[in-house]
């Protein structure tokens, strides 16, 4: 009798831990971790993923050929190189049981090409902290004018790092007086074609902008179905001040499933989503 009870209790513990592991919306984010001070603060915090931007540039006050540094365009200087950023995170993870992951947002193909030798050592199989290689590789809504990062080069180089998660998305133009828009079937189709053409065979996540993604449920479901073999997910992000239909976004998240949705939106929006608590089992 007692034994059965213990086994049942154990089973329920394991079950609930799995549930938590699979609720990707519990993953928390620090943004623009592009300087030493903020990197130290982010490493000391409870945040689980550090998002940072990489451009080709210089350490302030130094010259020589351009190198990958942590900065967001139009800035091209920083007090932190990509190499130092990765060493610091890796050292932290070596001595802490709760590892922090990184999402490296490459702002140009040059920065990504020049970053290869710096990222490779941290993508060997014996290193385990999550590394996401992110870029906007295709033009997206609403008639976005930002030039995407070269998709062919990004995928050929990215696919050499099997341990990395490829985080590949579309440029966007949204916010301000642009309050409506959606991802088109063509834009989704181009992404699928790119992944196929480059024989991508590693975990993939698609960053999608909340206000646009909430209007695009059918095509996002198609995208995830077609890439299920890549354990694909979406990473829903939003800028401060974006117009977002909260009910529609909530419906998208719950339809896709919290086990396939990273949520990287301002706290105020996250709170308004009122995601269901773990104990209310959704029926399948």
Ligand X SMILES: *[C@@H]1O[C@H](CO)[C@@H](O)[C@H](O)[C@H]1NC(C)=O
Residues in contact with ligand X by CB under 6 A are 19, 23, 25-26, 32, 34-35, 37-38, 176-177, 201-203, 230-231, 258, 275-278
The answer to whether 182 and 212 have CB atoms below 8 angstroms apart is yes
- Cβ closest to ligand X, residue 66 vs residue 257: 257
Indicate the burial class of 229 (C-beta count within 10 angstroms; 0-12, 13-18, 19 or more). Answer: exposed
The answer to whether 172 and 138 have CB atoms below 8 angstroms apart is no
**What is the nearest approach in angstroms of ligand X to the Cβ of residue 85?**
12
- Cβ closest to ligand X, residue 121 vs residue 276: 276
**What is the nearest approach in angstroms of ligand X to the Cβ of residue 4?**
27
**What is the nearest approach in angstroms of ligand X to the Cβ of residue 148?**
22
Q: What are phi and psi of 67, to 5 degrees?
A: -130, 165
Find how far residue 127's CA is from the centre of its chain. 19
- Cβ closest to ligand X, residue 123 vs residue 275: 275
Half-sphere exposure at residue 224, Cβ-oriented, CA atoms within 13 angstroms: 23
- Cβ closest to ligand X, residue 48 vs residue 202: 202
The residue of the chain with the least Cβ separation from ligand X equals 32
**What is the nearest approach in angstroms of ligand X to the Cβ of residue 6?**
25
CB atoms within 10 A of CB 205: 24
């Amino acid at each position: 009798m007692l034994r059965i009870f213990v086994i049942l209790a154990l089973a329920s513990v394991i079950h609930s831990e799995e549930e938590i592991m699979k609720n990707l919306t519990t993953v928390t984010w620090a943004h623009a971790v592009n300087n030493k001070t903020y990197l130290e603060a982010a490493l000391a915090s409870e945040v689980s993923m550090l998002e940072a931007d990489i451009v080709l540039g210089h350490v302030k006050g130094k010259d020589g050929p351009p190198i990958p540094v942590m900065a967001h365009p139009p800035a091209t200087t920083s007090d932190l190189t990509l190499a130092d950023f990765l060493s610091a995170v890796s050292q932290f993870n070596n001595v802490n049981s709760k590892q922090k992951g990184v999402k490296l947002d490459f702002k140009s193909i040059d920065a990504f090409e020049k970053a290869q030798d710096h990222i490779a050592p941290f993508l060997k199989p014996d290193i385990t902290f999550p590394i996401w290689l992110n870029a906007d590789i295709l033009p997206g809504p609403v008639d976005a004018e930002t030039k995407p990062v070269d998709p062919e080069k990004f995928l050929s180089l990215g696919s050499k790092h099997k341990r990395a998660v490829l985080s590949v998305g579309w440029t966007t133009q949204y916010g301000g007086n642009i309050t409506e828009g959606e991802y088109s079937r063509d834009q989704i189709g181009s992404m699928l074609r790119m992944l196929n053409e480059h024989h991508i065979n590693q975990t993939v996540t698609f960053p999608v902008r909340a206000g646009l993604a909430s209007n695009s449920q059918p095509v996002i479901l198609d995208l995830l179905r077609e890439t299920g073999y890549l354990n694909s997910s979406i990473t829903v992000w939003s800028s401060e001040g974006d117009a977002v239909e909260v009910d529609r976004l909530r419906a998208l998240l719950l339809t896709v499933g919290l086990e396939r949705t990273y949520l990287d939106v301002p706290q105020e929006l996250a709170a308004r989503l009122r995601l269901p608590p773990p104990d209310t089992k959704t029926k399948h």
